[in-house]
Amino acid sequence: MKTALSKKQNRFYCFDLLKMASQQDADKKIKDVLIVSDLLANFQRLIEEKCIPPTLNAPMK
């Protein structure tokens, strides 16, 4: 009976580790999205302030 309980505890422990890893991955993705969003906002501001010519923002052919 004790070994069955410890196997169950091990499964819960593994599940908790997977949940933590998944949460860290989600947090990293959110952080990456925020960084890219900030970069795009700064790029747009520089274009509006004429620091960067709008032709740099044109699609490539």
36 lies in some domain: yes
Model pLDDT for residues 32-56, shown as the tens digit of each residue = 999 999 999 998 888 888 887 767 6
pTM reported for the whole predicted model: 0.58
39 lies in some domain: yes
Joined tokens for residue 60: 């490539």
Task: Specify the number of domains making up the chain.
Answer: 1
* pLDDT reading at 1 higher than 50: no
Structural domain of 24 = 2-52
Q: Which residues contact 47 (CB under 8 A, 6 or more apart)?
A: 54, 56, 57
21 lies in some domain: yes
Are the C-beta atoms of 43 and 34 separated by less than 8 Å?
no
58 lies in some domain: no
Joined tokens for residue 12: 């819960």
60 lies in some domain: no
